[in-house]
Amino acid sequence: MHDLVQRLTPEKIASALLGFYAPHKPTSATLPRAELVELLENLPALSAAEHVDPVLVQIGKYHSDVILSQEDRATLAYIDDCVTQILRQTDLDFKIEAFIRNLTPYIAVMALRQGVQSIFEPQPILNLMNTLINEGLGWSEDLGILGEQFMDKIELMVRAMVSSRMSLEDCQSELDLMFSKDKPIFKKMEARLLDVEMKVLSRQKAKYYSAELLNQQMAGKKLPLFMIFVLQGSWYEFLQQVLSAYGEESPAWQKVTKLTEALIWSIQVQPDTARQATLMESLAGHIQAFCQKMNFDTSAVEACLEDLALEHEAIREGTPSSACDFELIKVEQSSLLSQQQLDASILADIREIQPGQWYLHDDKRDPDEKVARIKLILNWQDTMRLLFTNHNRRKVLHMSYPEFAQYLAEGTLKPLSPKSSTWEVIKQHLLTVVQGVQVQKQKESKVETPQDKKLVTREYLDRRKNEIMTAMKQHKHTAELKQKRALILREKAQQKILAATNAIESLRVDAWLKLPVMEGTLTPCRLVAVIAAADKYIFANRHGLKVGEFTKGQLIQMLIAENSEILDTGAEFENVLSSVVSALRDNKNKSYDELTGASV
């Protein structure tokens, strides 16, 4: 591709653009190129409202009297198409896409001044577009206060650049500095989320495997009551600890599996009494030795060894404990273990996906427009699970490989990370233009008479006109849908903020909330003081010790992000106290008969 583009002269490019976009021949004087460049440089500052209009539409909106030359119109149409192709690589929020469209006139200026070939390389304006696209993949209107703060910083810099209050280079530098500061913070937040989730998932996995092992070994066996309690109590917990600490592929788990099997076998009536006697003699010692190698407290299991020894002694004497009926441990199908089979190639593709990819989750069947931008933070191949978070890095979404594959297949899940840079897309689109024109020329060359040749040309021009009109309608329709979605998300975000604000403002002293005062967990805290002048809410734990202070804004954001929970607003006690005091005042001058209802 690179070689072919390099061989194209400016004249060939201009000819290809004229042939592909087929602009009408102007009937009056056209705008000189120098004036068009000046118009384009000022175009981004003309509209304060968010829009995703192509350059030609913007010119028609703000400079309806301007007539462009065929060559300039074809160049601008090509630039508009290139940006459309760039945006089609992903699915940005309306606001981010508006930024990109607002930068498009600067690309047109470069193409007009230095030639179309100048934008086949990573120019500063294209780098800025790349930055905004890649950093804005996860942003949407419903992220609450944190999302607003993030976007406000970006908007401030971009607006300053398009209004000539900041240079392009300074805008890029400021954005790079901002994102470089955010990245380690986001990374730390993701690591914290993963740490908490991995512990939870590890416990779920250990519980499932341990229950499966015990159920498999205990099913159909006759066991004494005390041993049922031991196996489904202390030993069950012990198995979970071993698996959590060492993993299901470890020698430790293989060893404890054999010990479990031996333990249950040793207290059954066995035809091979000699082998049973040998095992009973050594089993407690093997368990004891194994426990000593563990890196966690094993005292609960070791305490049961004496009871095991007594049972073994009773078996030797021919007086084993009576067997009891029991139920197996109830095990729900672990969400970590997928039962659905995947095609080998699909499975291999999913396993290769690296963390850091962004996706748009948009279920068209959901009438509530629940759209989420999610980032993959863990591809846990051992359990065929994927973990995602959003831009705020406050919550985690779990998804199995089969769920992920199904969502991708039906279009509910869409990859957002662009496959090519802006300049690569521009270069590729020129090849599409050139190839389209070459195909048409080949058709024309096969026609013998001039009349037929004109007919083929006319058919082509009509078809291109229809294609361009259809593309414009499609763009307008897509823009309207995006704007509608953005407005719905914005409205939902505002409703969340309003609800959270009202909830926080309703708090009274002695209110109870669950707050993230300790990493990875929500702790019940009591509101002990509200200092309105300093915007401080001070909280203590159950022992009355201060554990934290937050501003109203922080509490509102934690509530929106589901990083806190109101247990009791404290208002109920205040209302009861108020009613008691009011009643005492009302009853102060009443007689005994009036208070007791004895008077008529």
pLDDT of residue 270: 86
Backbone phi and psi for residue 239, each to the nearest 5 degrees, phi listed first:
-60, -45
**598 lies in a domain?**
no
Pair 370, 452 in one domain: no
pLDDT of residue 526: 93
The model's pLDDT over 98-107, given as tens digits with 9 standing for 90+, comes to 999 999 999 9
**159 lies in a domain?**
no
**333 lies in a domain?**
no
pLDDT of residue 78: 95
Q: How far apart are the first and last CA of the chain?
A: 103
Pair 15, 131 in one domain: yes
Task: Determine the Cα–Cα distance for residues 423 and 126; give it in Å rounded to an integer.
Answer: 7
| Contact call for residues 364 and 181 (beta carbons, < 8 A) | no
Q: Which of 415, 433, 462 is the last residue of a domain?
A: 415
Q: Which of 415, 444, 459 is the last residue of a domain?
A: 415
| Contact call for residues 338 and 402 (beta carbons, < 8 A) | yes
| Contact call for residues 147 and 96 (beta carbons, < 8 A) | no
524 confidence band (pLDDT: 50, 70, 90): very high
pLDDT of residue 441: 86
558 confidence band (pLDDT: 50, 70, 90): confident
Q: Which of 357, 380, 415 is the last residue of a domain?
A: 415
Q: Residues 433, 436, 439, CA angle at the centre, nearest 5°?
A: 150
Count: domains in the chain: 4
- Dihedral sign of CA atoms 83, 86, 89, 95 in order: negative
pLDDT of residue 32: 95
pLDDT of residue 278: 92
Please classify residue 239 by burial: count the beta carbons closer than 10 Å to its beta carbon, then call 0-12 exposed, 13-18 middle and 19+ buried. buried
Q: Which residues, other chains included, contact 381 with Cβ-Cβ below 8 Å and sequence gap of 6+? A: 351
Pair 117, 10 in one domain: yes
- Which of the given ranges, 237-246, 436-445, 461-470, has the highest pLDDT on average? 237-246
Q: Is the pLDDT of residue 499 over 60?
A: yes
Strands (E), 521-586: 521-531, 536-540, 546-550, 565-568
Q: What is the pTM of this model?
A: 0.74
Pair 249, 303 in one domain: yes
Q: Is the pLDDT of residue 332 over 70?
A: no
Pair 20, 113 in one domain: yes
Which structure tokens are listed for 350? 């999913």
Q: The domain that contains 537 carries what CATH number?
A: 2.30.30
- Dihedral sign of CA atoms 149, 153, 154, 158 in order: positive
pLDDT of residue 587: 53
The model's pLDDT over 178-187, given as tens digits with 9 standing for 90+, comes to 999 999 999 9
Pair 10, 130 in one domain: yes
Which structure tokens are listed for 304? 């049961």
Distances 285 to 61, 254, 272, 302, 311 between C-alpha atoms, Å: 88, 18, 21, 10, 15
195-209 as b/e: b if 16+ CB within 10 A: eebeeebbebbbbbb
Percent of the chain with pLDDT over 90: 52
Pair 351, 430 in one domain: no
92 confidence band (pLDDT: 50, 70, 90): very high
Q: Is the pLDDT of residue 599 over 70?
A: no
Q: Is the pLDDT of residue 489 over 90?
A: no
The angle that helices 168-218 and 124-136 make with each other, rounded to 10 degrees, is 30
Give the residue, 486 or 110, on which the prediction is more confident.
110
Identity at 543, one-letter amino acid code = H
The model's pLDDT over 383-426, given as tens digits with 9 standing for 90+, comes to 788 999 999 887 788 898 999 999 999 999 999 999 999 999 99
Which structure tokens are listed for 399? 């998804």
Q: Give the residue from 25, 99, 4, 129 showing the smallest Cα distance to 69.
A: 25
**595 lies in a domain?**
no
> Stretch 544-564: mean pLDDT, rounded?
87
250 confidence band (pLDDT: 50, 70, 90): very high
**517 lies in a domain?**
yes
Segment holding 282, helix H or strand E: helix 273-293
Task: Determine the Cα–Cα distance for residues 350 and 187; give it in Å rounded to an integer.
Answer: 23
Which structure tokens are listed for 420? 């090519």
> Stretch 245-261: mean pLDDT, rounded?
93
Pair 36, 118 in one domain: yes
Q: The domain that contains 384 carries what CATH number?
A: 2.30.30.140
**594 lies in a domain?**
no
> Stretch 450-461: mean pLDDT, rounded?
81
Pair 133, 44 in one domain: yes
The parent domain of residue 536 ranges over 506-569
**242 lies in a domain?**
yes
576 confidence band (pLDDT: 50, 70, 90): very low
**191 lies in a domain?**
no
Pair 352, 461 in one domain: no
Task: Determine the Cα–Cα distance for residues 85 and 426; give it in Å rounded to an integer.
Answer: 8
Q: Is the pLDDT of residue 249 over 90?
A: no
Which structure tokens are listed for 309? 């020894």
549 confidence band (pLDDT: 50, 70, 90): very high
Q: Is the pLDDT of residue 316 over 70?
A: yes
The model's pLDDT over 115-166, given as tens digits with 9 standing for 90+, comes to 999 999 999 999 999 999 999 999 988 887 778 888 999 999 998 998 888 9
Pair 438, 471 in one domain: yes
Pair 348, 426 in one domain: no
β-pair type (223-224, 323-324) = antiparallel
Q: Which long-range contacts (CB under 8 A, 24 or more apart) does 188-196 make?
A: 189/393, 189/394, 190/377, 190/389, 190/393, 192/519, 192/520, 193/377, 193/389, 193/393, 193/396, 194/377, 194/378, 194/387, 195/520, 196/520
> Stretch 305-326: mean pLDDT, rounded?
90
